[in-house]
Amino acid sequence: MIKAGVIGATGYVGTELIRLLEKHSDVELKYITSKSYVGKSYDEIYENYRGVFDMECHEQDIEKIADEVDVIFMALPHGIASKEIDEKILEKAKVIDIGADYRISDQEVYESWYNTEHGSPELLKEAVYGLCELKREEVKKTRIVANPGCYPTCSILSLSPILKEGLVEEDSIIIDAKSGVTGAGRSLNIGTHYTECNESFKAYGIASHRHTPEIEEQLSEVSGSDIVLNFTPHLVPMNRGILVTAYAKLKSPKSYEEIKAVYEKHYGDEHFVRLTKEGIFPETKWVKGSNFCDIGIKVDERTNRVIVVGAIDNMIKGAAGQAVQNMNIMFGLDEKSGLEDVSIFPG
């Protein structure tokens, strides 16, 4: 049994982690912490756990927790984890940080986009960007994983194969992304007040969203050349799910079959990446509640562009689920352990 601690267990990502870890047959939850609910039993905060899980929330004493667990999941706002984690912690326990602090390898880029100081830049080199399908081998060996952002997970998985193969123009990429409201977390905000976002649709963070440099760094690495792209997130009036519609110009005309073959080569053996059949495209409902990333492609001969549509559950493959997948890889478990659920439909 892997002993696990969750730091920040009462945010939305935290509660999704609790749900996945609680039913993971190889994991024993030892410690959960919360800033707002110290001393409270978990089922008083999240009543779905009524009569099922009543562990008490503790203060966030990471050193102490590291003594008692094998793996620490950090589900905190950006800027905090990097001030808590250091060599001493990593000598005792593996860390999976679901926040943004270790996702960007260049300290300066991080600090300028996130407008905060990095607390442990010396660990940036060791931290592995845990997009499992791309970095499986590195994840196996590392002590610290930077769990990818929700939009980046879906965007990078959608575009990697054609960039890796050098099929599209590097400066032609546009990622138009749409997310359900859980992506904004549980903190109160006028923009996520029910009557302000229900029955409405909007873009936000246009040409300025913090997931942009994260996506660009990974796609640059994949393609071997500097990728600068447009990323536009939108807010969908629904609880969960991300859909990415990505556009890229083909360097030379290719057929649907040729492009499909490239995706199959890259993802044919991947359990959690599912390619749709020709003419079928992902919808968020089919992945909601699961760790899958569904991908569909279209080649538009009129414009010589590839349009790739990707879908994930932002809370699972885009956060807690991928964190568990990373844990599975780090500890040599079956990668699918604890992540077997398909979407509950209609759900």
Which residues belong to the active site? 150
Name the minimum Å distance from CB 43 to a second copy: 10
Span of 70-78, 100-108, 149-157, 196-204 interacting with a second copy by CB under 8 A: 196-204
Residue number with CB closer to a second copy (152 or 296): 296
Span of 42-50, 61-69, 100-108, 114-122 interacting with a second copy by CB under 8 A: 42-50
Q: Is the peptide bond before 148 cis (omega within 30 degrees of 0)?
A: no
Q: For the segment 301-330, give every residue that binds a second copy (CB under 8 A).
A: 302-303, 305, 307, 309
Q: Which of 60, 147, 160, 290 binds a second copy (CB under 8 A)?
A: 290
Q: Which of 63, 237, 255, 265 binds a second copy (CB under 8 A)?
A: 237
Residue number with CB closer to a second copy (5 or 241): 241
Q: Which of 86, 186, 220, 261 binds a second copy (CB under 8 A)?
A: 186
Name the minimum Å distance from CB 53 to a second copy: 8
Tokens of 64: 């102490």
253 binds a second copy (CB under 8 A): no
Beta carbons within 8 Å of 191's beta carbon, 6+ residues apart: 184, 197, 204, 235
243 binds a second copy (CB under 8 A): yes
Q: Are strands 293-300 and 305-312 parallel, antiparallel or unpaired?
A: antiparallel
Residue number with CB closer to a second copy (62 or 236): 236
Q: Which of 156, 197, 222, 250 binds a second copy (CB under 8 A)?
A: 197
Query: Distance between CA atoms of 104 and 138, rounded to whole angstroms?
Result: 16
b/e per residue 93-115 (b: at least 16 CB within 10 A): bbbbbbbbbbbbeeeeebeebbe
Does residue 173 contact residue 229 with C-beta atoms inside 8 Å?
Answer: yes
Span of 86-94, 98-106, 204-212, 322-330 interacting with a second copy by CB under 8 A: 204-212
Q: Which of 193, 224, 265, 334 binds a second copy (CB under 8 A)?
A: 193
Q: For the segment 269-288, give every residue that binds a second copy (CB under 8 A).
A: 271, 274, 276, 280-288
Q: What is the largest CA-CA distance in the chain?
A: 62
Residue number with CB closer to a second copy (47 or 257): 47
300 binds a second copy (CB under 8 A): yes
Q: Which of 232, 291, 325, 326 binds a second copy (CB under 8 A)?
A: 232
Tokens of 27: 């994991």
Query: Distance between CA atoms of 347 and 343, rounded to whole angstroms?
Result: 8
Burial class of residue 271, CB neighbours in 10 A (0-12, 13-18, 19+)? middle
Beta carbons within 8 Å of 306's beta carbon, 6+ residues apart: 162, 167, 168, 247, 248, 250, 254, 259, 297, 298, 299, 300
Span of 63-71, 122-130, 143-151, 300-308 interacting with a second copy by CB under 8 A: 300-308
Beta carbons within 8 Å of 194's beta carbon, 6+ residues apart: none
Contact letters (x/-) for a second copy, 48-77, by CB under 8 A? xxxxxx------------------------
* Coil/strand/helix, residue 243: strand
Burial class of residue 121, CB neighbours in 10 A (0-12, 13-18, 19+)? middle
How many residues of this chain bind a second copy (CB under 8 A)?
85
Q: Which of 105, 116, 220, 239 binds a second copy (CB under 8 A)?
A: 239
